[in-house]
Amino acid sequence: MKFMEVSSAGGTIRMSKIVKGADYFGTTISEDTAFALLDRYFELGGNTIDTARIYGQADPADPDGPTYSEGIVGRWLASRGMRKDVVLVTKGCHPDRSCVTKSRICKQVLDQELETSFSELKVDSVDIYFLHRDNPDMPVGEIMDMLDEHVRAGKIRALGASNWTVQRIDQANQWALAHGKTPFTVSQIQWGLAATTPAAWGDPTLVAMNDSEYAGYVKNKIPVMAFASQGGGYYSKKLMGLPLKDKILRRYESSKNQARLPIVKQIAEENSCTPAAVCMAFLTSNPLQSAAIVGCSTVAQLEDSMSLCDLTLTESQLEALQNPAV
């Protein structure tokens, strides 16, 4: 397993470059299956769980209804006695799904959701806490002040920005450093070999990796946790001749992604591995420090994604995948 370091209050956090995502725990993924997935993930060398206050939402149309993911993760941590061995990541202040452009970032919501997360997770602190979305209309100083309070209280070790542009992260960090506050030290955006756009997802609040974002991360050296890193199994299913859901085709079907198919196939054959392992290696081998979040609803899928977690692609392979001839 490869690892990367995230700066935090009092030191660094060493997190595995393959992260187990906990979205859908309690909805399409049962608690028993979630426990089996987490058990196997740690057996395979991973050490980081990524959840969120909104994950496992019972009814997306009911923003006040129950969510299950954090509770399941909390029960697993308690039953396995694993807290000290886990890099625990959660997120808050996600907008209501019925109106994703209406921000919920404010001190009251942050404070309330953080305490609810602690209760569900059965902990009194988390290693990394992300704001799940940005509010571009809100001054960065107000946001960093709210977050810094919880870092100083010992409730959060490191601050993360999820679905923030690199430009806004830089602005926030410049303000934080100028005012003696805690900066963001990790980002979480959509990124994977199967490239996409916020428009393809139908969510203008989502941020996906592109050339300008990438250049910004190379400059500021902030590590990135990549969600939807497997692109819904786009390459695996395409190369196996299996059908893809309409949602996946809308998000990922493009001439550039299609041009990558023979390259993925060749690299997989050369390394006796699966397309999923190549997709993981595209991120974990990247010059930019990055970790791939894997959803995986079955243990078999998880084992596939982690089947060659130490695979390192060459510069020429990375270049071929990044810039295929279209």
Q: Give residue 29's Cα distance to chain centre.
A: 18
**pLDDT above 80 for 290:** yes
Smallest CA-to-CA distance from 291 within 231, 223, 233, 232 is with 223
Helix axes 140-152, 166-178, angle to 10 degrees: 60
Question: Domain spans of the chain?
Answer: 3-230
**pLDDT above 90 for 157:** yes
Q: What is the DSSP string of 210-228?
A: -HHHHHHHHHH---EEEES
**pLDDT above 80 for 61:** no
Confidence band of 95 (pLDDT split at 50, 70, 90): confident
β-pairing, 87-92 vs 48-50, is parallel
Choose the weakest-confidence range: 54-68, 245-259, 312-326: 54-68
Torsion of CA 227, 228, 229, 234, to 10 degrees: 180
**pLDDT above 90 for 99:** no
- Region 143-165: mean pLDDT is 98
pLDDT, position 217: 98
> Which residues, in sequence order, are CB contacts of 199 under 8 Å at separation 6+?
none
**pLDDT above 90 for 10:** no
Return the H-helix or E-strand segment holding 254.
none
Q: Are 278 and 265 in contact (CB under 8 A)?
A: no
Confidence band of 171 (pLDDT split at 50, 70, 90): very high
Architecture, CATH, for domain 3-230: Alpha-Beta Barrel (3.20)
- Region 118-139: mean pLDDT is 97
How many of the other CB atoms lie within 10 Å of CB of 202?
Answer: 11
